[in-house]
Every structure is written in structure tokens, then in C-alpha cells.
Structure 1
Amino acid sequence: MLPKTPKPAVWRFIKGSAKTLFVLEAVCFAASYGLYYRMNTDQEFRQYINENYPFALDYYYKIGEIVGDSNIRQTDANYWSSQAAQFNNSKRD
């Protein structure tokens, strides 16, 4: 019977690193999908993102235009401008 030789420490490190990387990728994918889902379903959240992280909303709109929902940017702009107009009118009264 052949004697067992221990695996080099490098292989254990590579194996552990691969597992960690896989888990990290899965967590990042889940977080990015959750963010996309919330942006896709909640217009007020998109407004918050627009006020604080406009570059992220621009990427969201670009992805939407590539995938096919090209009018969401215009819909949001119309809704937010009408909200601002209502706020200004109520402020004057």
C-alpha cells in the first residue's frame, strides 16, 4: 500500500481561497440583484439614488435601454418634475 503524503500548503491555500471567492461572488451577486430589483420596482428609491448616487442611476437607465425598457428615464423625469411643481405650488400657498 502506498503511504499517504500530505498535500502541500499551497494547494490548501488555493482551495480555501477558491471557496472564499465563490462565497464572496454569490453574496455580491445577491446584493446587486436585490439593489436592481428595488430600483426596478420602487420609483421613490430611484429618486433617492438620483439625489445621492446619480452615476448609479445612469448605469441603471443604460442597462434598461439596452434590455428594452427605454422610456423609464423619461417617465421618472416627468414624475419628479410634476412632484417638484406640486411642492412649489403648495409652498407658495
Structure 2
Amino acid sequence: MLPKTPKPALWRFIKNSAKTLFVLEAVCFAASYGLYYRMNTDQDFRRYINEKYPYALEYYYKIGEIVGDSKVREVDANYWATTAEQFKKE
């Protein structure tokens, strides 16, 4: 029978790094999907993103226009203009 030899330390490092990278990638994917889902369903959240991170909302609109015939940009602009007018009247 052949004697067992320990695996090199480099192999263990690569294996552990791959596991860590896989978990990190899964967490990042889940977080990005959650952010996309919230932006896709919550108009007030899109307004918050527009105020704090307008470049992120611009990317969201561009992706929507590339993937499908999305009119979200126009709908949001009309809604925000309407609500701004209502606050000015009060």
C-alpha cells in the first residue's frame, strides 16, 4: 500500500480561496438582485436612488431600455413632476 502524503499547502490555499470566492460571488449576486428587484417594484425607492445616486438610476433605465421597450423613465418623470406640483400647491 502506498503511504499517504500530505497535499501541498499551495493546493489547500487555492481550494480555500476558490470556496471563499464562490461564497462571496453568491452574496454579491443576491445583493444585486435584491437591489434590482426593489428598484423594479418601488417607485419611491427609485426616487431616493435618483436623489442620492443618479448614475445608478441612469444605468437601471438604460438596461431597461436595452432589454425591453421600457417606459419607466417617462412614467417616473411624470409622477415626480405631478407630486412636486402637489407639494407646491399645499
TM over 0.5: yes
Aligned to 1:88: 88
CA RMSD of aligned residues (A): 0.6
For 2:50, the equivalent position in structure 1 comes to: 50
The yes-or-no answer on 1:24 pairing with 2:38 is no
Q: Which runs of 4+ in 1 moved over 2 A?
A: none
Question: In structure 2, what is the Cα distance between the partners aligned to 1:32 and 1:67?
Answer: 17
Is 1:15 equivalent to 2:18 in the alignment?
no
Q: CA deviation at 1:25?
A: 0.3
Cα deviation for residue 44 of structure 1 reads 0.2
Q: Whose relative contact order is higher, 1 or 2, with alpha carbons under 8 Å and at least 6 apart?
A: 1
Identity of aligned residues (%): 80
Residue in structure 2 matched with residue 40 of structure 1 by the alignment? 40
Normalising by the residue count of structure 2, what TM-score does the alignment of the two structures yield?
0.97
How far does the alpha carbon of each residue in 1:11-41 deviate from its partner, in whole angstroms, 9 at most, with x for none?
0000000000000000000000000000000
State the SS of the aligned residue for 1:79: helix
Please, which runs of 5 or more residues in structure 1 have no aligned partner? Answer: none
Query: Within 5 Å, which residues of 2 pair with 1:43-82?
Result: 43-82=43-82
Q: 2:70, 2:80 → 1: CA distance?
A: 17
Give aligned pairs, total. Answer: 90
TM-score normalized by the length of structure 1: 0.94
